[in-house]
Structure 1
Amino acid sequence: MAPQPNFTTVSNLTTPVPGGGGCPPVGIQLEGLIMPPVLIIDVILGLIGNLVALWIFWFKLKAWNPNTLFLFNLVIADFFALVSLPLRIDALLRGHWVFGDGMCRINLFLMFSNRSASIALMTVVAIYRYFKVVHPHHRFNRMTKRQAAFVSAFVWLLVISPRVPMLAYNHIKGKGEKTQCFFFTSYKEASRGIIILVSMHRILTVVEFVIPMAMLLFCSVRISSFLKQRQMGKPDKVHKAMRMCAAIVAVFIVCFLPTTVTTIGVWVIRSYRPWDCAAFYTFTQLTIVSLGLNFLNSALDPIVYIFSSSMFRKALLGLVPCRKNEGQNTESSSGTQSTSQRELKSLRTDRGSEAKPLQ
């Protein structure tokens, strides 16, 4: 049986040469142009939104509930991602990685742990809202803050455990000024352990999107149908519940669907078309670029906080000066109105008492 042709360059993916080890590692090409501005925007918006959210959670919310605790953990997950991005931006702008093997491992660990934690915590928030609306008497709704803390700890353990092995391997590719810190850029990896780790990563990328997405859609549809059928509360209450579900689903689709699709593409090519290096190169580049959308969730998550927590929403509105003035004007106008009404009542009473002797 004739051996499969091997390739060693990225610029000419269809020219077989002797030796080599399958398709070549993918260098910085498309992502070097697209990702730096995208990641810079992610960092700026994410830091502003999450610092405000953290300040509100820490100083403005006097009474916490399980939902608030879940959202607070989502803020922590976002900060993990934001901490990892500056090094990645620097590497993309330079064209190579200069921070060494140890920082490469930590950087990749934080990047992928954030994705998993954000997906898991948003799913928990949606499930919590589902039980609150559809099953108000379920014991799940009697969850204490201590139990919510255990749930949050379990979620962190669940999402971090599969990523811990990433810290045990060297992910540096290339030498000198061509050094890159990537996790899945070639067929021929340094060891069988890396190959297994990359395969597990691809499986997790797909599974941790498909299952939570199905659960989110189920919760959204059930909440909508339940409120509409029973006509519970005012229409604005139904709209608020649906806005929360729509916000989480929208963040899910925008931030995580592209990476899932491109990962499946790489997986299919790697499994069924191992000789098609051009397709492998294209989908790998698209996968790396789509990671920029993963980190966009750190900037969009404050929208989830606004729709998911009435306490957070009120605290945020309290920070807006015009809202404060409106509240004060409303209170003063209501106070003036009530005073005027009391004066009119007393005036009518006086007139009635004056009119009685004349009768």
Structure 2
Amino acid sequence: MLGDRRNTTEWFRSVYEHVTLPAIYTFVFIIGLGANVWGLKSLLQKWKSLGHINVFLLNLGIANFLFLPTLPFLTAYYFMGNKWIFGDAFCKITRFCFNLNLYGSIGFLTCISVYRYLAIVHAVKAKGRITVRNSVAISVVVWLLVSAQSLPDMLFPKNSPNRTEKCHHTTSNEYVENYLKYSVGWTLTGFVMPLLIFLGCYGHVTLVLCHKNTINKVVKQRSLKLMFILILLFSVCYIPYHIFKNLSLYSRAFFFKHGKYPTWDKGVFTAHQISRGLVCLNSVLNPLVYLHVMDIPAQLQQLLQRFRQTFTRLFVSEYGSVPVAQTVSTAIS
């Protein structure tokens, strides 16, 4: 029975890690890089008109750019059958950049949630307190906290004694018990606490938006759309990853101590592998936040409308009617 489990697990690991995960990383690298470049360019163009929230949006973009350049190396690692050829130091740097991206994104999304909460619920009181200086100071504190939480991860070995070419995203089995304790504390401070702040802020914002008729309808719609984007990010990228990462670590520690896996290990292992792919999508979904704040959807609609007009002028319409350009020239002559 154990042999069947191991065969199934190894088959899934082989297919997922060597085919699916590199494909996800390639997709995230291409789409995420394009979306973030476009988003940050638009952010800088509208810097003055966005208010103090632009500081958090800029830092959110920086968090994405810390991770995206490492994806080609991780793609090569998994594509080559979990063989890391770039050195142990760069392995730890790569994993460190992933953690900075993950927990930096969570931190700045939380800051944006608090900002929107203050702007809607406590607009009068917060007007003089939300300044660029305060936003920069808060951003520095977020980076310091995220770095302090992530640095201990670099102290754990990322390879196995008998497989020095490995680059584990957690650590080897010999240190998994200590890593589990660290990971639980990291999850509580780096994820659970921000999640509770996010839920508290948007729970209150939702009540205010539903019961106050004085708030502009456009503001309501934009706030609810932003809340939906953030819920999507937490639900798809962050919550599954943290749950199944810690359960998988517990299962590995249980096996190392008792010589067997828990009965639920197979399902947790599969879910954890899938969540590792989903958590990387945050670099693709994060741009939706600052694109939404900058009202890029309206710009996209205008761009598409211009494209349709250009398309109509350049090509013959259906049923062989005369092109618009020809009609105009005939009318002029």
Normalised by the shorter chain, which TM-score bucket? Answer: 0.7 to 0.9
Matched, 1:296 2:304: no
* Residue among 43, 59, 79 paired with 1:73: 59
Structure 1 residues 322 and 162, CA gap change in structure 2 (3 angstroms): closer
Give the letter aligned to residue 134 of structure 1.
V
| Partners of 2:31 and 2:284 within 8 A in 1 | yes
Matched, 1:83 2:69: yes
**TM-aligned CA deviation for residue 213 of structure 1:** 2.1
Return the alpha-carbon distance in structure 2 between the equivalents of residues 231 and 85 of structure 1. Answer: 47
Post-superposition Cα deviations, 1:159-183, rounded to whole Å, max 9, x if no partner, equal 111212333444123657x721004
Structure 1 residues 135 and 98, CA gap change in structure 2 (3 angstroms): same
* Residue among 158, 175, 187 paired with 2:145: 158
* Residue among 38, 45, 51 paired with 2:24: 38
Provide the residue aligned with 1:188 in structure 2: 174
Give the letter aligned to residue 33 of structure 2.
L
Provide the residue aligned with 1:122 in structure 2: 109
Deviates more, 1:139-148 or 1:111-120: 139-148
Provide the residue aligned with 1:244 in structure 2: 226
Return the alpha-carbon distance in structure 1 between the equivalents of residues 128 and 6 of structure 2. Answer: 57
Structure 1 residues 215 and 141, CA gap change in structure 2 (3 angstroms): farther
**TM-aligned CA deviation for residue 93 of structure 1:** 0.4
Return the alpha-carbon distance in structure 2 between the equivalents of residues 27 and 322 of structure 1. Answer: 42
Secondary structure (helix, strand or coil) at the match of 1:138 reads helix
Deviates more, 1:208-217 or 1:280-289: 280-289
Deviates more, 1:254-263 or 1:196-205: 196-205
| Partners of 1:66 and 1:144 within 8 A in 2 | yes
**TM-aligned CA deviation for residue 267 of structure 1:** 4.7
**TM-aligned CA deviation for residue 318 of structure 1:** 7.8
| Partners of 1:101 and 1:171 within 8 A in 2 | yes
**TM-aligned CA deviation for residue 254 of structure 1:** 0.6
Return the alpha-carbon distance in structure 2 between the equivalents of residues 185 and 165 of structure 1. Answer: 12
Provide the residue aligned with 2:80 in structure 1: 94
Give the letter aligned to residue 74 of structure 1.
L
**TM-aligned CA deviation for residue 237 of structure 1:** 2.7
Return the alpha-carbon distance in structure 1 between the equivalents of residues 53 and 200 of structure 2. Answer: 19
* Residue among 215, 218, 229 paired with 2:200: 218
Provide the residue aligned with 1:61 in structure 2: 47
Give the letter aligned to residue 152 of structure 1.
S
Secondary structure (helix, strand or coil) at the match of 1:173 reads coil
Provide the residue aligned with 1:277 in structure 2: 261
Give the letter aligned to residue 239 of structure 1.
Q
Structure 1 residues 244 and 197, CA gap change in structure 2 (3 angstroms): same
Return the alpha-carbon distance in structure 2 between the equivalents of residues 118 and 322 of structure 1. Answer: 30
Larger radius of gyration: 1
Structure 1 residues 36 and 227, CA gap change in structure 2 (3 angstroms): same
| Partners of 1:35 and 1:292 within 8 A in 2 | yes
Deviates more, 1:122-131 or 1:251-260: 251-260
Structure 1 residues 267 and 172, CA gap change in structure 2 (3 angstroms): closer
Higher relative contact order (CA 8 A, sep 6+): 1
Aligned pairs for 1:339-354 within 5 A = none
Structure 1 residues 179 and 259, CA gap change in structure 2 (3 angstroms): same
Unaligned runs of 5+ in 1: 1-8, 15-25, 327-359
| Partners of 1:185 and 1:284 within 8 A in 2 | no
| Partners of 1:54 and 1:75 within 8 A in 2 | yes
- For these two proteins, the number of residue pairs brought into alignment is 300
Percent sequence identity is 24
Secondary structure (helix, strand or coil) at the match of 2:280 reads helix
**TM-aligned CA deviation for residue 230 of structure 1:** 1.7
Return the alpha-carbon distance in structure 2 between the equivalents of residues 83 and 258 of structure 1. Answer: 24
| Partners of 1:70 and 1:125 within 8 A in 2 | yes
Return the alpha-carbon distance in structure 2 between the equivalents of residues 323 and 237 of structure 1. Answer: 25
Return the alpha-carbon distance in structure 1 between the equivalents of residues 20 and 240 of structure 2. Answer: 15
Deviates more, 1:229-238 or 1:71-80: 229-238
- TM-score normalised according to structure 2 size: 0.78
Structure 1 residues 12 and 174, CA gap change in structure 2 (3 angstroms): farther
Secondary structure (helix, strand or coil) at the match of 2:295 reads helix
| Partners of 1:91 and 1:97 within 8 A in 2 | yes
Return the alpha-carbon distance in structure 2 between the equivalents of residues 318 and 292 of structure 1. Answer: 28
Return the alpha-carbon distance in structure 2 between the equivalents of residues 211 and 116 of structure 1. Answer: 12
Deviates more, 1:252-261 or 1:268-277: 268-277
- TM-score normalised according to structure 1 size: 0.73
RMSD (Å) for aligned C-alpha atoms: 3.3
| Partners of 2:28 and 2:281 within 8 A in 1 | yes
